[in-house]
A = this chain, B = another copy of it.
Amino acid sequence: MEERPIATVGDFSFGGDGTEGLPLDCGKTLSPVNIRYETLGELNSDRSNAVLILHALTGDAHVAGRYADGSGKDGWWEGMVGPGKPFDTDKYFIVCSNIIGGCAGSTGPSSIDPETGKPYNTRFPVVTIPDIVRAQRRLMEHLEIDRWLAIAGGSMGGMQALQWAVSYPDAVGSVIAIATTARLSPQGIAFDWVGRQAIMGDPKWNGGDYGEDVPEQGLAIARMVGHITYLSDESMHRKFGRRLQERDNYSFDFSRDFQVESYLEHQGRRFVERFDANSYLYISKAMDYFDLSIEGGGDIGKAFASVKSPFIVVSFSSDWLFPPEHSKEIVKALRMNNVEVTYCDIESAYGHDAFLLEMDTLGRLVSGFLSSRGS
């Protein structure tokens, strides 16, 4: 049996104790800030083997591994991170932190607002991908790392990777950008809008002050809409088709008939147990606001003018939420700036979820890319 590496959990706090808080794009300053992070592997003596992995909308710092006491369920990218795996913990020092605005250890809407002594809820400032990356930069300083050997992320994690490359070109050795975009499409914004309306329209949301009685109905709707966009039409055909769930005939009522309905219901219910509804609002909004072209006056090519590090850009053929065209746009913009870039569109039926599922092909690409970076 494959051994899972040991993940070390850390909390890095700043602001509120005389240190500087986190200035945000909205004009406010967040303080204090906690960043929950996990590390795997060992930092080498010249501190040159650190790789930052960035999580997607509902991810967390637990990218892989077990805790020293043996506890810890599978991380969200277990297949990619470990001894001998593409992000090889025998070679690299892996860092993954929960984003600010989240609900898995880092400061977010459910954290205590020092001004009121109560949870921020919707008094939490709206954060952006640049804000999220700015917080990660502070963590990097805290860890006394000057340069990441690589940064890697899929989906919203990829947005953060692009932002890192633009905001801190000297701190980034190389970039692995997977199933992502330089700006969320209007279709993506539309789905996020519907999800937020479902949450905010749930009477239990209560203006964001819901306490224990969470808006589960609204959050489940948001999650179910999300899940449809993570799968492809083809993967749904393969996975569910029109098969019925535990019945031979139509119910002729409004209960579950189809397997795909059962799947969505299950995903919605499970999500409510682990994710904060307000965090969903904040993080989806951060995705909507992400538009790197703004930094280039509307031109993504110009936005990448400062980028120095080599890239690998990966898309998946059936991903319609972050379609290959968006990756190609990134590649084109990088090439305009003479950045060394490898692009691969992986043939896959899994849709956007492929970045969590196509471990073999993706793994080979990442291994090769990282090896070529040296350590």
Contact = CB atoms under 8 A, between A and B. Distances in A.
A161 interface: no
Interface string A178-210: 000001111101110110111011110000000
A186 B260 contact: yes
A24 B253 CA distance: 14
A120 to B, nearest CB: 13
Interface string A246-290: 000010111001101100110010000000000001000100110
Interface stretch (A29-37, A58-66, A217-225, A301-309): A217-225
B187 A224 contact: no
A189 B291 contact: no
B187 A236 contact: yes
Contacts of A186: 233, 236-237, 239-242, 258, 260
* A contacts with B: majority SS: helix
A253 B22 CA distance: 18
A307 to B, nearest CB: 22
Nearest to A290: B242
A236 B323 CA distance: 14
B241 A217 contact: no
B288 A233 contact: no
Nearest to A321: B233
Given A186-B241, A186-B242, A260 B193 contact: yes
Interface bin, chain A: 35 or more
B198 A228 contact: no
B291 A242 contact: yes
A77 to B, nearest CB: 26
A289 B250 contact: yes
A186 B242 CA distance: 6
Contacts of A253: 126
**Which residue, of A200, A202, A254, has the highest number of chain B Cβ atoms within 10 A?**
A254
A320 interface: yes
A190 B261 contact: yes
Given A252-B26, A254-B122, A189 B225 contact: no
Given A185-B236, A187-B233, A200-B254, 13 more contacts: A125-B252, A187-B236, A189-B258, A190-B228, A193-B258, A193-B264, A193-B265, A194-B221, A196-B254, A197-B265, A198-B198, A201-B202, A233-B320
7 contacts: A186-B260, A193-B261, A197-B220, A201-B220, A233-B323, A250-B289, A320-B320
